[in-house]
C-alpha cells in the first residue's frame, strides 16, 4: 500500500508538502480545483518535475467545486464533464496513480429528477476518456447527493467496469454508522483502488487527523496490510495532523 496526503486538506503549500512527503515516504493527492482557481500554482509539467526531483508521486482529486456531473441543467453538466476530462488529462501529465471522482448532486428531489440524474451518471461515465485509473468515491453526506446507499454505488460500478472504487472511511462513518466502512468494503472491496483516510465523530465531515474521532482504525490498519493500491490522508491540522495520522497507520506495521 502506498500512503499519501492532501496538501489542500492539511493546509500546506507545495514547498511544505513536498518536503514532508519526501521525509515520510508519502505521495501527494493534488486537488485539481486548486489549479483551476489559482494561476500561480505550477502547471502539470512543472508539477511533474517537482515530483521527480523530490521522489514524490501523485494521485489527483478530480473537480468537485461548483461542479455537478449529473446536473439537470445541460450547460452545467457539459462544463462539469469538460472540467473532469481536463483533470484526467492533468493527472496523466503528472503521472498520477489514480484519480478520484464524485458522483454528483440532485438538489431537486423529485422522483423524475432523481431518475433522470441516474441516467445522466451512466452517460457521463461512458463519455469520459480514462487516461488514468479513476475511482468513484462514496459520499452520502447530504440529502442532495445522487447516491444514497452503498448498493446504488455498487450498481453504478457494476455497469461501468472500467472504474474502480475509492473508500472514504470518514464519509462511510457519517452515512452508515460505526460499521459503515466495513459495509462499503463488503460490497465493493473487489473494486477497491484507493482510500481516503480521515476521522470524525460520526456527525459531520470534520476531516480530523486519524485517531481523533470514531473511525475504527484497527480495522483500517488490518485492511491496509494486504492492500496493493493507494490511500490518501485527507486530514486537517497541518504538518502535525499528517505526522500523527501516519504514525497511527504505521504503528506495529
- pLDDT one-digit tens code per residue, 180-216: 999 999 999 999 999 999 999 999 999 999 999 999 9
- Kind of pairing, strands 192-197 and 99-101? unpaired
- The pLDDT tens digits of the residues spanning 131-177 come to 999 999 999 999 999 999 999 999 999 999 999 999 999 999 999 99
Of 181, 198, 75, which is closest to residue 138 (Cα–Cα)? 181
Q: Which domains does the chain have, with CATH numbers?
A: 2-250 (3.20.20.150)
Of 88, 173, 170, which is closest to residue 125 (Cα–Cα)? 88
Of 231, 219, 217, 112, which is closest to residue 168 (Cα–Cα)? 231
Q: How far apart are CA 145 and CA 60, in angstroms?
A: 21
Report the chain's mean pLDDT, rounded to a whole number: 97
* Phi, psi for 154 (deg, rounded to 5): -60, -45
**To the nearest whole percent, how much of the chain has pLDDT over 70?**
100
Amino acid at each position: 500500500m502506498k500512503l499519501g496526503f492532501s496538501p489542500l486538506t492539511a493546509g500546506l503549500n507545495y514547498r511544505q508538502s513536498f518536503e514532508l512527503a519526501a521525509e515520510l515516504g508519502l505521495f501527494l493527492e493534488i486537488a485539481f480545483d486548486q489549479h483551476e482557481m489559482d494561476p500561480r500554482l505550477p502547471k502539470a509539467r512543472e508539477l511533474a518535475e517537482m515530483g521527480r526531483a523530490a521522489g514524490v508521486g501523485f494521485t489527483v482529486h478530480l473537480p468537485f467545486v461548483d461542479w455537478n456531473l449529473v446536473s439537470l441543467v445541460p450547460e452545467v453538466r457539459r462544463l462539469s464533464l469538460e472540467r473532469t476530462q481536463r483533470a484526467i488529462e492533468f493527472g496523466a501529465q503528472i503521472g498520477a496513480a489514480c484519480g478520484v471522482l464524485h458522483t454528483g448532486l440532485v438538489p431537486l428531489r423529485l422522483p423524475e429528477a432523481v431518475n433522470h440524474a441516474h441516467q445522466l451518471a451512466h452517460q457521463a461515465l461512458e463519455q469520459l476518456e480514462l487516461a488514468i485509473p479513476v475511482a468513484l468515491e462514496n459520499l452520502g453526506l447530504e440529502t442532495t447527493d445522487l447516491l444514497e446507499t452503498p448498493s446504488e454505488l455498487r450498481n453504478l460500478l457494476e455497469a461501468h467496469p472500467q472504474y474502480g472504487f475509492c473508500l472514504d472511511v470518514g464519509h462511510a462513518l457519517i452515512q452508515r454508522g460505526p460499521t459503515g466502512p466495513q459495509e462499503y468494503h463488503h460490497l465493493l472491496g473487489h473494486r477497491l483502488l484507493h482510500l481516503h483516510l480521515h476521522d470524525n465523530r460520526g456527525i459531520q465531515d470534520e476531516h480530523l487527523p486519524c485517531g481523533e474521532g470514531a473511525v475504527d482504525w484497527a480495522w483500517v490498519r488490518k485492511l491496509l496490510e494486504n492492500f496493493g493500491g493507494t490511500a490518501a490522508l485527507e486530514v486537517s491540522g497541518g504538518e502535525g495532523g499528517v505526522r500523527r495520522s501516519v504514525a497511527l497507520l504505521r504503528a506495529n506495521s
